[in-house]
Amino acid sequence: MQTDLRGRDMITTQEFTDDEIWTILDVAFDLKRKRAVGEPHALLRDKVLAMLFFFSSTRTRVSFEAGMAQLGGHAQFIESRTTQIKHGDTPKELGEIIGRYCDGIAVRHVEWGEGNKYIRDIAEASRVPVLNMQCEIYHPFQILADAMTIIENFGRNLKGRTINVSWAYAASYSKPMSVPHCLILLMTRFGMNVRLTHPPEFKLMPDIVEQAKENARRAGGSLELLDDFDAGFKGADIVLPKSWGPMMTTLDPDETTRITNKYQDWIADERRMALAAEHAIYMHPLPADRNIEVTDAVIDGPQSRVWDQAENRLHAQKAVMALTMR
């Protein structure tokens, strides 16, 4: 266990060692147990987390605010439409000033080509830890929660388990690639057999895919690229089909809609789940486009773990905050 993560930024899990990742997960499971039995754990008493939102969220805001309260601290909700963080305040100014007011800065900024740089610019200027609540490239806290959920179902030794990280159709909006990016980066480090399944137009960032391949090589797992939706499900232990936009192909909204509508049959339904292993679990970071991205029968069915997955966001975030903001 690594005992000194104080002051560390969490922008991507890729910047943490395997031992540090396991430390975070072990602390997360311990904090989950403490909450289950009502054991107080005010590890961040009188600490303040500033939460800068450039893009709205339900689970992210609620889980971070609840987590800070349970750790004995306070979370400030700072929204771009009601403050000057989107106009007037530069990342350097925010890092310098908020870093002097507060004990941690969390940022959610998913604008393509802007979010990750913005978060890193704040981190460069800040004297306190900066936490990535999601950018266009990474979503580290979601993926730590996903790892917890998978471990709860299959144990700590995940080597040889197969996870299908798949694109799925959704009509709501062009969603970031940060979840599939982080999934292939972290799950390959566990030695898992990772399938990345998507139509040709929905490729991920090439450098992320190359990093995942190297992770798989080092851990003794694999990264398999597929373009057949059904093939991705076959025999898989974990299936996580979700939508993301074709940003590597086009940024034009009309072209995005045209391309996306070609694949309306990419929906996680009962027939597809039957192709997976009998013990397979269905996961999704939420919100899902019901009966478009996934059927009610699957997301509400016995193989679904979406509620455990959502709960684990709370515990994973608390673990990182407790380790870095103390």
What is the C-alpha to C-alpha distance for residues 176 and 180, in angstroms, rounded to an integer?
Answer: 9
Q: What is the pTM of this model?
A: 0.95
User: What is the per-residue pLDDT across 83-97, written as a single tens digit (0 to 9) for each?
Assistant: 767 777 899 999 999
Can you give the pLDDT at residue 188? Answer: 98
- More confident: 39 or 1: 39
Domains and CATH numbers, the chain: 13-139+312-324 (3.40.50.1370), 142-309 (3.40.50.1370)
Structure confidence at residue 64 as a pLDDT band (50, 70, 90): very high
Phi then psi for residue 228, to 5 deg, are -115, 115
Q: Which of 322, 313, 323 is nearest to 143 (CA)?
A: 313
User: What is the per-residue pLDDT across 199-231, written as a single tens digit (0 to 9) for each?
Assistant: 999 999 999 999 999 999 999 999 999 999 999
User: What is the per-residue pLDDT across 12-36, written as a single tens digit (0 to 9) for each?
Assistant: 999 999 999 999 999 999 999 999 9
Structure confidence at residue 11 as a pLDDT band (50, 70, 90): very high
Which helix (DSSP H) or strand (DSSP E) does residue 98 occupy? Answer: helix 91-101
Percent of the chain with pLDDT over 90: 93
Residue 258 has pLDDT above 80, yes or no: yes
User: What is the per-residue pLDDT across 109-155, written as a single tens digit (0 to 9) for each?
Assistant: 999 999 999 999 999 999 999 999 999 999 999 999 999 999 999 99
Structure confidence at residue 198 as a pLDDT band (50, 70, 90): very high
Can you give the pLDDT at residue 84? Answer: 67
What is the C-alpha to C-alpha distance for residues 306 and 268, in angstroms, rounded to an integer?
Answer: 14
User: What is the per-residue pLDDT across 156-195, written as a single tens digit (0 to 9) for each?
Assistant: 999 999 999 999 999 877 899 999 999 999 999 999 999 9
DSSP 201: G
Angle made by CA atoms 291, 294, 297, in degrees to the nearest 5? 80
Chain mean position to CA 24: 15
Laid out side by side, the sheet with 222-226 consists of 222-226, 193-197, 162-167, 238-242, 281-282
**Beta partners for 164?**
195, 239
Can you give the pLDDT at residue 30? Answer: 98
